[in-house]
């Protein structure tokens, strides 16, 4: 579970406004679970929170 420990990931398009998760949000969560520090960016700031 620590394959990405000590790494930094930037995920563009990490927001999700509808029900469920989009690809960006799912990617950001997966990277974080693997130990990465994740920086999320989305053109809709409220969706990226």
List pLDDT tens digits, range 15-48: 888 888 889 999 999 999 999 999 999 898 787 7
Question: For residue 3, what pLDDT band results from cuts at 50, 70 and 90?
Answer: very high
Average pLDDT over residues 7-20: 90
45 vs 43: CA distance, rounded Å: 6
1 vs 33: CA distance, rounded Å: 7
34 vs 47: CA distance, rounded Å: 23
Q: Please report the pLDDT score of residue 18 as a whole number.
A: 82
């Amino acid at each position: 579970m620590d394959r990405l420990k000590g790494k930094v990931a930037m995920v563009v398009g990490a927001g999700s406004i509808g029900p469920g998760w989009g690809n960006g949000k799912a990617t950001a969560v997966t990277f974080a679970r693997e130990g990465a520090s994740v920086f999320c960016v989305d053109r809709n700031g409220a969706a990226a929170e």
